[in-house]
Amino acid sequence: MHIVVAMRQLADLVEELEVNGDGTDIDRDFVKFVSNEWDEAALEEALTIKDESAASVTVVALDEPDVDQTLYAALAKGADRAVKLTGHDPSAWVRTRERAQRIASFLAHEEFDLVLTGVQAADDLDGQLAGILGSTLDIPHAAVVVGVELTGSSLRVAQELGGGLVGVSELELPAVLGVQAARQAPRYASITRIRQAMQTQKIEEQEVSLEVTTPQVTVRRLYPPEKQGGATMLTGSAKDVATEIVNILRSKGLV
């Protein structure tokens, strides 16, 4: 069983994000990049499968700021192999369709049974990776996966369908899954382990040369939403305030 985990870097949302000069992308020179949290869940699920059975885990990511950190951390946590794909501008925004094609061209000469990736990333304007990658490779896929069960060559997945409803289905292998949550919280790789991985393990680099032309949304402008101030104070009698609160709840479809 060979599991490939597709991971990626994303601007750290804790930081203040600023928009670049022409207003169509974030200013990438001044943000910190961290790994996408859902990809971490995908990695965790892959490693849990590896712990249970004799799977091997390959982590693949496009060259993006601080991606080495993420790949070494994955190796420190127990991934067998880490691959960095180059051949694009590492400092630019890679749209999801292009990302999928680059990963697909890496997978074209890999034997694999399962691809796991995060259900989404916060800049997925062009859609989420799992479905696009599945379609590009013409293999089945499922998103918002909260459970993966591999027995022999059969794959059962549980997907969260909203309102707590869970759909269980079977997919033929190979398949691509967009993971929402692993069975357990992502494990911790101590800094010492990561540093050890840096000294003892290598990140493979593979160049992918590809001209990508897909129809896509043209971003006109990127801008922060209008700020809402502090609390709007509701005043009046208890009855008035209660009515107002219930109206707010109603507008959200909650009561």
Partner 1 sequence: MAIAVLVVGERVAGESPDVTFELLGRGRELADALSGELAVVVVNDLDEGAQFGIADVLYVVDGMDSASYSAPQWEAAIGAVIQRVSPQVVLVSTGTVGIDLAGALATKFNAPLASYVIDVTAQGDKLVVTSQLYGGKLLSEGEIDAFPAFVSVLPGSLPVEKGRAQGSPRVEHIDAGDQLRLSKGRGTELREPDTSGVDITSAALLVSVGRGIGSKENLELVAELAEAMKAPLSASRPVIDQGWLPKPHQVGKSGKKVKPTVYLAFGISGAPEHLEGMRSAETIIACNTDPSAPIFEVAHYGTTLDLFDLVPELTDIVGG
Partner 2 sequence: MLAIIETRKIFAGETEVAKIVFYVLALIVLVIFFVGVIRRLVVYNRGRRAPNFAWLRRRDPRDVPEVSERPTVPSSLVTIATNQTIIKTKHKVGVSHWLLFWGFIGLFLATSILSLDYDVLGNASRIITGHTYSFFQGPFYLAYNAVFDFAGLLALVGTVLLASRRWFSKEPQLDYTRAQKPESGYSRARIVIGDHVFVSGLLLILVTGLLIQGLRIDGEHFPSFEQWTWLGYLIGKGFAGLGVGAAAARAVHAWLWWVHVGLALAFVAYIPWSKAWHMLASPANLAVRDFSNVRRLPQPPADNAGYRSVDDLTPKELLGLDSCTKCGRCHVVCPARTGGAPLSPRDLILDLRQLADHKHGIPLLFDTETRPSPTGPMNEDGCLAGEVVVGETLWSCTTCMACVEICPVGIEHVPLIVQLRRTLVDQGAMDPTLQSALQNIATQGNSFGKSSRMRARWTKGLDFPIVDARTQHVEYLWFLGDFASFDERLMDISRTLATVLHANGISFGILFEEERNAGNDVRRVGEEGLFEMLVEQNMNAFAKASFDKIFTTDPHSFNTLRNEYPAFGLDRPVLHYSELLAKLLFTGKVAPGNLMRKVTYHDPCYLGRYNRIFEAPRAVISALGCDLVEMPRHGVNSFCCGAGGGRIWMDDSVLDERPSVNRIKEASTLDVDYFVVACPKDYAMFSDAVKTVGIEDKLKVVDIVELFAEATLSSALVDV
Ligand X SMILES: Cc1cc2nc3c(=O)[nH]c(=O)nc-3n(C[C@H](O)[C@H](O)[C@H](O)COP(=O)(O)OP(=O)(O)OC[C@H]3O[C@@H](n4cnc5c(N)ncnc54)[C@H](O)[C@@H]3O)c2cc1C
State the residues that interact with ligand X by CB under 6 A. Answer: 13, 119-120, 144
**Using the rule CB under 8 A, is 149 a contact of partner 1?**
no
Q: Which of 139, 113, 117 minimizes the C-alpha distance to 128?
A: 117
- Give, for 175, the enclosing helix (H) or strand (E): strand 175-179
Count, residues near partner 2 per rule CB under 8 A: 16
Binding range to partner 1, per CB under 8 A, among 11-19, 68-76, 105-113, 192-200? 11-19
* Interface of this chain with partner 1, residues 155 to 184, rule: CB under 8 A: 156, 158-172, 175, 178
Binding range to partner 2, per CB under 8 A, among 98-106, 137-145, 150-158, 180-188? 180-188
Distance of alpha carbon 216 from alpha carbon 127, whole angstroms: 10
**Using the rule CB under 8 A, is 32 a contact of partner 1?**
no
The residue (of 185 and 241) whose beta carbon lies closer to partner 2 is 185
Q: Which amino acid is at 249?
A: L
Residue 46, SS3 per DSSP: helix
Distance of alpha carbon 155 from alpha carbon 119, whole angstroms: 18
> Contacting partner 1 (CB under 8 A), which of 127, 187, 189, 201?
127
**Using the rule CB under 8 A, is 65 a contact of partner 1?**
no
Contact of residue 192 among partner 1, partner 2, ligand X, none (CB under 5-8 Å per partner type)? partner 2
The residue (of 40 and 98) whose beta carbon lies closer to partner 2 is 40
Distance of alpha carbon 158 from alpha carbon 168, whole angstroms: 4
> What torsion, rounded to 10 degrees, do the Cα atoms 117, 56, 79, 43 define?
20
Residue 97, SS3 per DSSP: helix
**Using the rule CB under 8 A, is 228 a contact of partner 2?**
no
Q: Which of 173, 89, 102, 170 minimizes the C-alpha distance to 136?
A: 102
Chain contacts with partner 2 (rule: CB under 8 A): 12, 14-16, 32, 34, 185, 187-195
